[in-house]
């Protein structure tokens, strides 16, 4: 028997939000580390730099919806 992505998603979306979060966390952890993750201090430095860039040039700021659309399009490409 082969389980499809659609069957898994249909079942997962019927779970309570807390259970969906648990499933997502387990799935995320199962993927493993790509080695591309930043250390917490490196991430903080990058976020501070990005914030300074947006303060200097507000046109570089994008909305949450634009951010999600950008990465959604990248995943589909």
DSSP string, 14-77: TS-HHHHHHHHHHHHHHH---S-PPPHHHHHHHHHHHHHHHHH-GGG---HHHHHHHHHHHHH-
The domain in which residue 65 lies consists of 40-76
Same-domain pairing of 2 and 25: yes
> Residue 61: which residues within 8 A CB-CB, separation 6 or more?
54
The residue ranking higher by pLDDT, 46 or 71, is 46
Same domain, 26 and 45: no
How many domains does the chain divide into?
2
Residue 35 falls inside a structural domain: no
Q: What is the pLDDT of residues 8-58, one digit of tens each?
A: 999 999 999 999 999 998 888 888 766 667 788 888 898 899 889 888 988
pLDDT per position as a tens digit, 11-24 = 999 999 999 999 99
Residue 71 domain-assigned (yes or no): yes
Domain assignment of residue 1, yes or no: yes
Claim to verify: residue 26 and residue 49 sit in the same structural domain: no
The whole model's pTM is what? 0.41
Do 26 and 6 fall within a single domain? yes
Closest to 24 (Cα-Cα) out of 12, 33, 37, 34: 12
């Amino acid at each position: 028997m082969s389980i499809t992505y659609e069957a898994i998603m249909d079942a997962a979306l019927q779970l309570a939000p807390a259970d969906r979060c648990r499933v997502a966390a387990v799935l995320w952890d199962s993927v493993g580390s790509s080695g591309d993750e930043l250390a917490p201090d490196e991430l903080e430095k990058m976020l501070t730099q990005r914030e300074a860039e947006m303060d200097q040039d507000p046109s570089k700021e994008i909305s949450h919806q634009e951010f999600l659309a950008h990465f959604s399009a990248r995943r589909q490409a």
